[in-house]
Structure 1
Amino acid sequence: MTSDINICNMALGNIGAAPIVSFSDESQTARICASYYGHVRKYLLSAYPWSFNRRHVRLVPLPKGEEYEDEPVFIYAYPTEALYINCVYSKEFPGRKLRYDIRVCGEGKRRLFADVPGPLFADCRADVEDVSVWPAVFCETVSWALSMRIALALAKDNGVASNCNGMYLQALGRALCECANEPDMPMDGGSSWLEAREI
Structure 2
Amino acid sequence: MASTVSICNLALGHLGADKIDALSEASSEARACNRFYGQTLDALLAAGPPWRFARHATVLAEVTGTAAGAGSLGRWAHAYALPVDLMRVRALRLPDGPLSDDGAYPYELSGDRLHADISPAVLHYIRRIDDPSKFTPLFVEALSWHLAARLAMPLTRDAGQRQAAFQMALQTQAAASAADANDEPADVGFVSDYERVRGA
TM category, shorter: 0.7 to 0.9
- The residue aligned with 1:55 is 56
1:126-171 per-residue CA deviation (whole Å, 9 max, x = no partner) reads 1111111211000000000000001011011111111101111110
Higher relative contact order (CA 8 A, sep 6+): 1
Instruction: Work out the CA distance in 2 between the residues paired with 1:89 and 1:172.
Output: 29
Q: TM-score, normalised by structure 2?
A: 0.84
SS for the counterpart of 1:167 is helix
What secondary structure is seen at the aligned counterpart in 2 of 1:65? helix
Alignment of 1:112-151 (within 5 A): 112-116=114-118, 118-151=119-152
The CA deviation string for residues 87-124 of structure 1, in whole angstroms up to 9 with x for no partner, is 100035434110000001xxxxx1000022x1110111
Q: Give the Å deviation of 1:73.
A: 2.2
Could you tell me the TM-score, scaled by structure 1's length? Answer: 0.85
What is the Cα-based RMSD across aligned positions, in Å? 1.8
CA distance in 1, matches of 2:12, 2:95: 47
| Stretches of structure 1 lacking an aligned partner (at least 5 in a row) | 105-109, 187-199
Partner in structure 2 of residue 46 of structure 1: 46
Q: Residues 22, 90 of structure 1: CA spacing in aligned structure 2 closer, same or farther, 3 A cutoff?
A: same
CA contact (8 A) 1:137 1:171 kept: yes
Contact 1:54–1:125 under 8 Å retained in 2:
yes
- Tell me the alpha carbon deviations over residues 35-77 of structure 1, each in whole angstroms, 9 at most, x when there is no partner: 1001111111121211111001111101042864964421000
Size of the aligned set, in residue pairs, is: 180
Radius of gyration: which is bigger?
2
Give the conservation status (yes or no) of the 8 Å contact 2:76–2:115.
Answer: no
User: Does structure 2 retain, via aligned residues, the 8 Å contact 1:83–1:127?
Assistant: yes
Identity level (%): 30
Structure 2 Cα separation of the partners of residues 133 and 185 of structure 1: 23
Would you say the 8 A contact 1:87–1:98 is kept in 2?
Answer: yes
Residue 77, structure 1, aligned to residue 81, structure 2? yes
1:86 aligns with 2:93: no
Shifted more, 36-45 versus 72-81: the winner is: 72-81
